[in-house]
Amino acid sequence: MKRYIFFQFIVILCFSLYGQQSQSLKLSEPYLGQVPPGMEPEVFAPGIVNTGLYTRDIAISKDGNEIYFCVADASVTSIFVTKCIDNYWTEPVIAPFSGNGFLDMEPCISSDGNKIFFLSNRPPTGMEPKRGWFYQKIWVTERTETGWTEPWLVEEPVNSNEHEFFPSVTSTNVLYFTRMTKAGKSGIYKSIYVNNSFGEPELLPFDVPDNGILFNAFISPDEDFLITCAQNIDSTNIDQDYYISFRDVAGTWSKLIKLGPEINTPDDNANSAYISPDGKYLFFSSSRKDPKSLQIMSGTSLKEIVNAKSKPGNGSSSIYWVSTKIIEELRPKE
């Protein structure tokens, strides 16, 4: 209990620093007590999830009581978790299946909440560890009565001799993921779970130029739309941007539609998108810089720079959220 009280004090202090009223913070409420956003994206949980460190990738349990996210900054690239216990959210810590000398990102919770798929650089059995992202494979851990199991490598044919990452699972356990060749060409694949194993992956048939890439696609639980990151797929797509495609009842995917300027800002880098379990909010990572952030110039003090770097919106990646009405406005009319 002392830990919860101390964390509540720290959170209130952080919100005070960010110019928000501490009395609006209700840690016992969903989404870390944050005020829900409207049609304009807002930083999610500043001072709690987004701290100025490079932060991306989010996954929320179906009951809303567990939030996983990734911090990939300097010496740490791990999946963190915060839980609502006894009506209070715990301080975010590295998840028990993450860390331990490996680089872990991109958590995805299965529809029943009993498995978490994620990207890791840990070596397959019999292979020597390598520095950096030499290995990019999808791993999975399973929930038990005593906690999460030791992760294991998702079997072939999902993982291959190429790079596989950014898992996303539907309510019927269809797995979507990115496969990138060692030559740098990537696409979005799907694998159907049948008889306790994943089947041969199928490349989604999007029309992409030779120099274009699709990667890191979130699939909706009902498999009726996906949000993907893309680069060089059209004349407007110079940076990494978010696109959406809708799937009709016949299983045909619509042409990729670029999300609006509220999501795709100039000089930004799209990395990961996610829809909350209740379907109300779109979460996405963005490296946009807050126009009100410190302008570093001659005479700027070191203390001012350190303070600016310890807040989201400093040009490093942060997680934003916005109402999913922004998606419905793009859905093709029948």
pLDDT of residue 4: 39
Q: Which two structure tokens, joined as six digits, stand for 231?
A: 């680069």
pLDDT of residue 9: 38
pLDDT of residue 16: 42
Going along the chain from its start, the domains and CATH numbers come out as 2-328 (2.120.10.30)
pLDDT of residue 24: 34
Which of the four pLDDT bands, split at 50, 70 and 90, describes residue 334?
Answer: low
Residues 285-304, mean pLDDT to the nearest whole number? 85
Torsion 283-285-287-293 (CA) sign = positive
pLDDT of residue 28: 66
What stretch of H or E contains 305?
Answer: helix 302-309
What SS3 state is found at 178? strand
Please write the tens of the pLDDT for every residue from 192-204: 999 889 999 999 9
- Give dist(CA 59, CA 82) in Å, integer: 11
Please write the tens of the pLDDT for every residue from 117-157: 999 999 998 999 998 999 999 999 999 999 999 999 999 99
Q: What is the DSSP letter of 187?
A: E
Q: Which two structure tokens, joined as six digits, stand for 256?
A: 């990729």
Q: What is the DSSP letter of 269?
A: B
